[in-house]
Structure 1
Amino acid sequence: MHFYSLLSSLILSVLLLYISDSESLKTLKNLAVKHGGSISIPCVYDEKYKSNRKYWCRGYYWSLCKIVANTNTSGRTSVTDHPTQNMFTVELKSLQDSDSGYYWCAVEISGGSDDGDYVYLTVSSDPAVLVINSSVSGQEGGRVSVQCLCSAGYKNKQKKWCRFKDWSCFTVWKTSTSQNSAVLVSDDEKGSVSVEMSGLQKSDAGWYWFSAGDVGVTVHLTVTERPSNSTAVTENKETTAAELNGNTGLIWVLLAVGLGLLLTLATIITWMLRKKCYGNQTETRARVSSTAVHTTITTESPVIYSAVISENKKLSQAVRDDGVIYSSVVAE
């Protein structure tokens, strides 16, 4: 029995040399991604590794893993360091089934053994879990929703929504209203899980993961600033000024149209009055021209007699006793 105990201890020691489970470097242990898709994997490291070179390698054994990409390399696999967040991310693109396997988030240590933590990646056409959108954005004070799907074999597994910043998790139907936003995880028990975060704050931005059982998928959240009141007031003033300018222009157009109508009406009235006046003058001239005046002057007598004869009037004569002839015009 003592022999077997020593053998077990030896085997365990050897395994520890090949498999690292670092506390100074952490990542998820089991991730799933759809065939042909992409995934970003956050690797959180200790403050002491801030200036160390980071890399991503593949292999079952830590001591034998093959380096795939280093910090700031690009291509189908890229490694990007975020020193202010004590984190580096590994982005894998256009993944195929053959890309499934063990990988390592690793930190190079000068003069000593490198540090690393492993993750197993499964690439398939029907992954255990996936999200509709692995990158979401919301405004400060607003809300975001993440739709997660589970395959048939994981519908009854425990669902969790967790964040890398402090490794805190929220389970189904549990709402948290702590310093950060309220989080509600809803499961329809048919393979669809909705994660809703409301009352967003700037501190909520960062990396999260959704998991069903022991398989997870990563999500990145961006929180934008809410417009300040001064900005909103300025925008309202600009809008009001624009509206006033538009109304002023309309008023000038209406005034111009109204003035044009008044001038047109005045012209018409003046023309009608002139026409009427001209017609009266013509009628008067016609009446005068239709009357003929004949004057007979008799020189034999000191009395001068005149007779006015109108074409439209009849002359009636009256003889007085004194022999003088008087005429009177009688209008019909």
Structure 2
Amino acid sequence: MYVQVECTDVQVCPNALHMGLKGWFKFTLIYLEVQSRGSITIPCHYDQKYIHYVKYWCKGFYWNFCNYAARTDKTMGTKTSISDDLIQRVFTVTMTDLTSADSDYYWCAVEINNKPDIRIQQYYLSVTGAPGLYVEQQQVTGVEGGSATVCCYYSNTGYVAWCRVGVPCVWYSGTLGGALGRINLAMDAKNRKVLTVTMSDLKMEDAGWYWCSVGDLQIPVQITVKPHSATTLSTTTNHKTQSPDNPQTSSSSTSGPVVNTSHHTDRSSGPIYHQWLDDLKILLIPLVMLLVLIAGVLVAWKMWRKHGNNKANDQPTNTAVGYVNPFIHIYTI
């Protein structure tokens, strides 16, 4: 993803690689602010070797004394839930109906039996009436080859960046995951300062978790990429096979393209066979009608001949009729 930063305020233009190093998400405390009674989803990425381990979310400043708030192997409460995506190797924690009592330090970690647990990341969550950085939607969807726009509203000051986990953050311009992007700072209709990130030329591999960052605050955003024009692909496939009785189905996924199975269809059950049957029906119908018409004509002709023969047999023959010789002339005197 290529990102170009357009700064309209010198206070938010960075002059150092703050947060820009790979591994920043592992070793730096992340500050989050959430609206009171609001909710937030936080991603925690882990290494391939920890896929089948228990992950958890615990509350407290000190690692050794933090209290479990959510675990992947059991239900801890109703306000905090945890979900583990084994394919993307990320577990997400969702906290709802937040109050000031939820403001605290949190850890996301992996539990290792008979060995020290693996600490992935530490967060500080502040529940306030006016968060300094927030988004109205944490999940944004785009189409492959298209674009996705993220609006991050902020009131604090500091450096501005658009980041992805495991990749150096982008400030002015550069690549981030492969999609072409643009950052713009402006004011919206409600006089809120908004950091607008537009990601274009999306690819399936661009799907994942990103971060808006302004000053010391961050907010996670999930980008979902759907296959390019899945409906159009299905329609095109139908036109190619010319078989409305056997349409192809398409599935939306963020991890792969739509697979067209019509190229591997068996002849005895595929669209070509059905089309052949349809063509045969079209040819047989007029042929049968023609045969019926010919049979009707033959029956009518035979009935007409029989009727004519019967009429000739019923007519009597008269042999006593006088014969007048045309060569004999009768003269009367």
| Bucket of the pairwise TM-score, normalised by the shorter protein | 0.5 to 0.7
Counterpart amino acid of residue 89 in structure 1:
T
The residue number in structure 1 matching 2:47 is 46
Map Cα deviations across residues 115-143 of structure 1 (whole Å, 9 max, x no partner). Answer: 22321111111111001211110110011
Q: What is the aligned partner in structure 2 of residue 69 from structure 1?
A: 70
Structure 1 residue matching 2:56: 3-state secondary structure: strand
- In 1, Cα distance between equivalents of 2:207 and 2:161: 18
CA contact (8 A) 1:27 1:43 kept: no
**Match of residue 123 from structure 2:** 119
- Tell whether the 8 Å contact from 1:24 to 1:46 is kept in structure 2 after alignment: no
Provide the C-alpha distance between the structure 1 equivalents of 2:51 and 2:180, rounded to a whole number of angstroms: 32
Distance 1:23 1:176 in 2: 18
After TM superposition, the structure 1 = structure 2 runs for residues 60-99 of structure 1, keeping only pairs within 5 Å, are 60-71=61-72, 73=74, 75-99=78-102
Superposed CA deviations along residues 186-219 of structure 1, whole A, max 9, x for unmatched, are 1127621100000110001011110111210111
**Which position in structure 2 is the counterpart of 1:169?**
169
Query: Aligned partners of 2:195, 2:118: CA distance in 1, in Å?
Result: 36
TM-score (norm 1): 0.58
**What SS class does the counterpart of residue 103 from structure 1 fall into?**
strand
The answer (yes or no) to whether the contact 1:26–1:45 under 8 Å persists in 2 is no
- 1:102 and 2:100 matched: no
The SS at the match of 1:37 is: coil
Task: Check whether the contact 1:170–1:185 (CA below 8 A) recurs between aligned residues.
Answer: no
- Count of residue pairs brought into register by the alignment: 213
**SS of the residue 1:133 aligns to:** coil
Partner of 1:182: 180
Q: Which amino acid aligns with 1:211?
A: S
How far is 1:234 from its partner? 4.7
Q: What letter matches 2:71 in structure 1?
A: N
TM-fit CA distance, 1:27: 8.1
- Structure 2: state its 5+ residue gaps: 1-22, 245-333
Aligned: 1:128 with 2:132 = yes
Asked if 1:149 corresponds to 2:153, the answer is yes
Identify if the C-alpha distance between structure 1 residues 23 and 206 changes in structure 2 by more than 3 Å, giving closer, same or farther: closer
- Structure 1, 67-76 or 205-214: larger mean CA deviation: 67-76
SS at match of 2:87: helix
Q: Name 1:224's counterpart in structure 2.
A: 226
Amino acid at match of 1:77: T
* Alignment root-mean-square deviation, CA: 2.8
Q: Identity percentage over the alignment?
A: 37
Out of 206, 209, 214, the position equivalent to 1:207 is 209
Q: Provide the TM-score with structure 2 as the length reference.
A: 0.58
Task: Supply the distance in 1 between the matched residues of 2:24 and 2:126 (Cα, whole angstroms).
Answer: 24
Instruction: Provide the rounded CA distance (Å) in 2 between the counterparts of 1:169 and 1:105.
Output: 22
Deviation at 1:61, TM superposition (A): 0.5
8 Å CA contact 2:167, 2:176 repeated in 1: no
In the alignment, structure 1 segments of 5+ residues that lack a partner are 1-21, 242-332
Q: How far does the alpha carbon of each residue in 1:82-121 deviate from its partner, in whole angstroms, 9 at most, with x for none?
A: 2222221111111112211101101111111222232111
**Would the alpha carbon gap of residues 218 and 72 (structure 1) be closer, same or farther in structure 2, given more than 3 Å must change?**
farther
User: In structure 1, how many angstroms separate the alpha carbons of the residues matched to 2:28 and 2:79?
Assistant: 20
